[in-house]
């Protein structure tokens, strides 16, 4: 029997319409370095229509890719809403990509128009002259455009304000098939070329709804959301769409992502919710502690992208009463896949243990662990293997890049290794490319790092595999100490002894001034391994007890 229910396509246009019609007085606040710029959802909606008219005027039609090379701000949000709603495809470009990778992704996506921050014009100019599909560049804000202008015809830019000026404030948004692409993102390409993922209208709609669930982030109209995670990093984790459809205010920090301006924004605008990778919160905490800042406005902070240190979560809670909520996901999963909210019966240390895990999958996502032989492992919290996921906002392929080895019977192979327990809690012990295999057994670099970062003298710690004659691989701990502190490797090693298995404790250590980071702020272990191989790291060996 067929249902009697109405059918409608799940489109980004509906996200736009809901925020516009229901939450017109909610606001977007953009930090301009000193001042804050404000606009209501109603103002923004009018500009979204104007942008769509402007882009149509440049020849952007159904299915055309429009790149954005921007930090987080009001105009970038306007692009998020206008481009998919008009039937074109939003392609968020990572402003920190190396030139060759930036050129690769622009060419691969065949971007027709690029909306670029004036502050980033120089970086775009380095490659865009060579990108044959790009026809026009739209510039947001003011700055030195000479590098672009020097490129001749392609460097003749149009100002965003001119593009939208005088255009009608309404747009006849087209009817689209919900399975059409709405947006695309590339993984940051830590190995090889970045891989493209094309989100559909349907996946974006469902993922946005999922982010408003109280089983995940619970973004609601009572929130003021500070979007620190860049809009070019997996659509800022989908937060802008979730905030828009639920009427939460959005606070955008532009390129001011250092601890000092972030704390200034937090104290002035008092956000209730935010999202960013652990390295950002670590810096914010260090700054706030030494300046007596007030971070208490948050009801919660979603943190992920890499494992969230327990010490970081505990410090935030102790000092400011703020809950950091760990989430796990990847560009390929839109990105929200799981969230670590402890079961209601867990209290005290038990609850903290749950919070250090990747969490339970969001409704819509299914996860399983598959062992080395390709068999599904039991959900017993013990059996280790690679996570595979599937669901309506999980990619089923890479764009124009056949990689069948990344998929398995309709599931995405995540490249993350870990366990699932009986209650559905995922624990990630490593990425497949970062695992440390010692004498045939795995050591979790993530767990070692987490334990080390609990030591009061340690600011950051990254653990990588290094070759070992006897055990094949052993861990090398690379440690950044807090300013003005000193600690011996013997003390750090002994600190670990009651926290991890004895044979996990590294024999080799390196004190470094900082852990190298990827373009999205994660520990770049590839760089550390290469530095070690070249002999560039000063390594201290732990003296063996007699
Ligand atoms: P990239 O793959 O280029 O780093 P993504 O942002 O898509 O870009 O990264 C996804 C990866 O980040 C996941 O596969 C996982 O390894 C890691 N990750 C994300 N969240 C967590 C988390 N909470 N704990 C551990 N690792 C995480």
- The answer to whether the 12-257 and 435-541 domains have the same CATH topology is no
Q: Which two tokens stand for residue 520?
A: 């999205």
Summarize pLDDT for 358-397 with one digit per residue, the tens.
Answer: 999 999 999 999 998 999 999 999 999 999 999 999 999 9
> Which of 305, 362, 517 is the best mutation target for the ligand 1 pocket, counting ligand atoms within 8 Å of the beta carbon and taking the most?
305
What would be the CATH architecture of the domain defined by 334-431? Roll (2.30)
Ligand 1 in reach of 358 Cβ (< 6 A): yes
Closest ligand 1 atom, residue 187 Cα = 3
Which of 414, 428, 453, 462 to mutate to test ligand 1, by most ligand atoms within 8 A of the CB atom? 428
- Alpha helix segments (H runs only) across 33-73: 41-57
Ligand 1 center–CA 306 separation, angstroms: 5
| Atom nearest to 303 CA in ligand 1 | 23
Extents of the domains making up the chain: 12-257, 334-431, 435-541
**Domain spanning 12-257, CATH class:** alpha beta
Rg (CA), the chain: 24
Between CA 293 and CA 274 the distance in angstroms is 17
Mutate to test the pocket of ligand 1, among 199, 217, 276, 416 (most ligand atoms within 8 A of CB): 416
Residue 532 near residue 505 (C-beta atoms within 8 A): no
Distance, in Å, from the CA atom of 17 to the CA atom of 244, rounded to the nearest integer, reads 10
- Say how far apart CA 162 and CA 87 lie, in whole Å: 22
- CA 54, distance to chain mean position in Å, is 30
Cβ of 356 below 6 Å from ligand 1 = no
**Cα dihedral: 89, 107, 394, 387 (round 10):** -160
87-129 pLDDT, tens digit each: 999 999 999 998 999 999 999 999 999 999 999 999 999 999 9
Average pLDDT of the chain to the nearest whole number: 95
C-beta 326 within 6 A of ligand 1: yes
pLDDT band at 546 (very low <50, low <70, confident <90, very high): very low
For ligand 1, say whether the CB of 337 is within 6 Å of any of its atoms. no
Average pLDDT over residues 522-527: 92
How many angstroms is it from 191 CA to the middle of ligand 1?
14
Known catalytic residue: 419? no
Ligand 1 pocket member 313 (CB < 6 A): no
**pLDDT score recorded for residue 544:** 66
Helix (H, G, I), strand (E, B) or coil at 200: strand
The 10s digit of each residue's pLDDT in 494-505 is 999 999 989 999
Residue bearing the CA closest to ligand 1, atom 19: 305
For the Cβ of 328 lying below 6 angstroms from any atom of ligand 1, the answer is yes
Cα of first residue to Cα of last residue in the chain, in angstroms, is 77
Per residue in 391-429, pLDDT tens? 999 999 999 999 999 999 999 999 999 999 999 999 999
362 and 389 in contact (C-beta within 8 Å)?
A: no
Cα distances (angstroms) measured from residue 146 to each of 116, 128, 130, 133, 487: 14, 14, 17, 22, 50
Catalytic residue selected from 68, 92, 187, 212: 187
* Residue owning tokens 């990747």: 358
Q: What separation in angstroms does the CA of 188 have from each of 193, 316, 520, 522? A: 8, 29, 7, 10
442 is catalytic: yes
Q: Does the C-beta of 330 come closer than 6 Å to ligand 1?
A: yes
Whether 187 is catalytic is: yes
133 catalytically annotated? no
Fold of 435-541: GMP Synthetase; Chain A, domain 3 (3.30.300)
Is any atom of ligand 1 closer than 6 Å to the C-beta of 187? yes
Give the three-class secondary structure for 128: helix
Average pLDDT on 290-299 reads 97
């Amino acid at each position: 029997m067929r249902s009697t229910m109405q059918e409608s396509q799940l489109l980004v246009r509906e996200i736009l319409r809901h925020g516009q019609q229901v939450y017109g007085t909610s606001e977007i606040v953009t930090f301009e370095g000193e001042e804050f710029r404000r606009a209501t959802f109603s103002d923004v909606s009018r500009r979204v229509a104007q942008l769509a008219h402007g882009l149509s005027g440049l020849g952007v039609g159904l299915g055309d890719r429009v790149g954005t090379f921007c930090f987080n701000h009001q105009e970038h949000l306007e692009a998020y809403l206008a481009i998919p709603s008009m039937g074109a495809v939003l392609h968020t470009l990572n402003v920190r990509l190396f030139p060759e990778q930036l050129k690769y992704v622009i060419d691969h996506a065949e971007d027709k128009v690029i909306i670029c921050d004036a502050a980033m014009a120089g970086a775009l100019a380095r490659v865009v002259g060579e990108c044959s599909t790009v026809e026009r560049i739209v510039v947001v804000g003011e700055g030195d455009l000479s590098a672009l202008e020097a490129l001749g015809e392609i460097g003749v830019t149009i100002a965003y304000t001119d593009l939208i000026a005088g255009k009608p404030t309404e747009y006849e948004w087209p009817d689209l098939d919900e399975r059409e692409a709405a947006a695309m993102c590339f993984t940051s390409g830590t190995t090889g070329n970045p891989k493209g993922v094309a989100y559909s209208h349907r996946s974006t709609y469902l993922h946005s709804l999922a982010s408003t669930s109280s089983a995940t982030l619970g973004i609601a109209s009572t929130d003021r959301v500070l979007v620190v995670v860049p809009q070019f990093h997996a659509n800022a984790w989908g937060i802008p769409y979730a905030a828009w459809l639920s009427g939460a205010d959005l606070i955008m920090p532009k390129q001011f992502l250092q601890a000092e301006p972030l704390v200034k924004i937090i104290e002035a605008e008092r956000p209730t919710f935010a999202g960013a990778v652990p390295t950002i919160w670590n810096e914010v905490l260090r700054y706030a502690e030494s300046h007596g800042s007030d971070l208490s406005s948050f009801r919660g902070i979603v943190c992920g992208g890499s494992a969230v240190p327990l010490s970081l979560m505990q410090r935030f809670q102790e000092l400011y009463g703020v809950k950091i909520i760990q989430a796990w996901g990847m560009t390929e999963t839109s990105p929200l896949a799981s969230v670590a909210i402890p079961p209601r019966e867990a209290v005290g240390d038990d609850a903290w243990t749950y919070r250090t895990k990747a969490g339970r999958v969001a409704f819509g996502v299914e996860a399983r662990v598959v062992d080395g032989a390709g068999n599904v492992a039991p959900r017993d919290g013990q059996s280790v293997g690679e996570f595979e996921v599937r669901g309506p906002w999980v990619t089923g392929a890479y764009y124009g890049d056949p990689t069948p080895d990344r998929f398995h019977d309709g599931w995405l192979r995540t490249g993350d290794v870990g366990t699932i327990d009986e209650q559905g809690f995922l624990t990630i012990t490593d990425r497949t490319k970062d695992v440390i295999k010692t004498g045939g057994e795995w050591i979790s670099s993530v767990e070692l790092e987490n334990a080390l970062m609990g030591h009061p003298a340690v600011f950051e710690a990254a653990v990588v595999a290094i070759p070992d004659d006897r055990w094949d691989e052993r861990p090398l701990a690379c440690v950044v100490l807090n300013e003005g502190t000193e600690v011996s490797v013997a003390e750090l090693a002994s600190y670990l002894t009651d926290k991890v298995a004895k044979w996990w404790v590294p024999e080799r250590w390196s004190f470094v001034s900082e852990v190298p980071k990827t373009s999205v702020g994660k520990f770049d272990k590839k760089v550390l391994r290469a530095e070690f191989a070249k002999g560039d790291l000063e390594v201290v060996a732990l003296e063996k007890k007699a």
